[in-house]
Amino acid sequence: MKIDIYDATGKVKGSEDLNKTLFEAPINEDLMHRAVLLRLANARQPIAHTKTRGEVIMTTKKAFKQKGTGRARRGALSTNLLRGGGVTHGPRNNANYSKAMPKKERRAALFSSLSSQAKDKGIFGLESFAAKVPKTKDFISLLDKLPKGKKHLFVLAKKNEVFEKSCHNVTGVRTILASYLNPYDVLHSDQICFVQDAMKSLESTFLTTA
């Protein structure tokens, strides 16, 4: 499978063969779904929190005298039976939503998602970015000449301050290092662009036997 390689002016300069292990892997929808859930669950923060009856600040004064009223004896006002009291089985901010997934399955899910995007013609390469200083206008001009899509993901081999700052404020554009590429970001992009040596970095990171 081949992809188009664009130069710094946005013109197609040539093509490149994709690694079969990465981009022609079996497409496993269930595995990709689990990988996306893994990412969302591990990013979830337990914010909702309710107090138990032991944490509620409530007066300890008796609601009414114990005898002579004809009513049942009233205990603590912090009980969960009364308004303003503690909450029974409510959400707590120490909840753990994290999930785990074996390394081989995570890699298989990534290869599956990359293969799915390659099958849908959603991958291309960019030879370089000509700007020497961060300039959003130059990046937008280049983006208009690249394959169209609502969401673009640019994969970098290493930190590139000029490129990252140039596209930082552009709607629908994100950057990520090749070593951090994951199924969630791949599947939530219409077009994925590998900048310069990002493809080599991807292969060296995920095609190891360790």
- For 139-176, the pLDDT digits (tens) are 999 999 999 999 999 999 999 999 999 999 999 999 99
Longest dimension (CA), the chain: 95
What integer pLDDT is reported at residue 209 of this predicted model? Answer: 57
Task: Starting at the earlier edge strand, list the strands of the sheet with 173-177.
Answer: 12-17, 2-6, 123-126, 191-195, 152-156, 173-177
Cα separation, 48 vs 121, whole angstroms: 42
What integer pLDDT is reported at residue 184 of this predicted model? Answer: 96
What would the two tokens of residue 20 be? 């079969």
Could you tell me the sign of the dihedral formed by the alpha carbons of 21, 201, 181, 123, in that order?
Answer: negative
Residue-averaged pLDDT of the chain: 94
What would the two tokens of residue 103 be? 């390394």
Residues in the chain where the model's pLDDT stays below 50: 210
Residue 43 near residue 191, CB atoms below 8 Å: no
Domains of the chain: 2-44+101-206 (3.40.1370.10), 46-96 (no CATH)
DSSP states along 74-127: P--TTSTTSTTS--TT---TT--------HHHHHHHHHHHHHHHHHTT-EEEE-
Residue 156 near residue 126, CB atoms below 8 Å: no
What integer pLDDT is reported at residue 131 of this predicted model? Answer: 85
Q: Helix (H) and strand (E) counts for the chain?
A: 7, 6
What integer pLDDT is reported at residue 179 of this predicted model? Answer: 95
What integer pLDDT is reported at residue 196 of this predicted model? Answer: 87
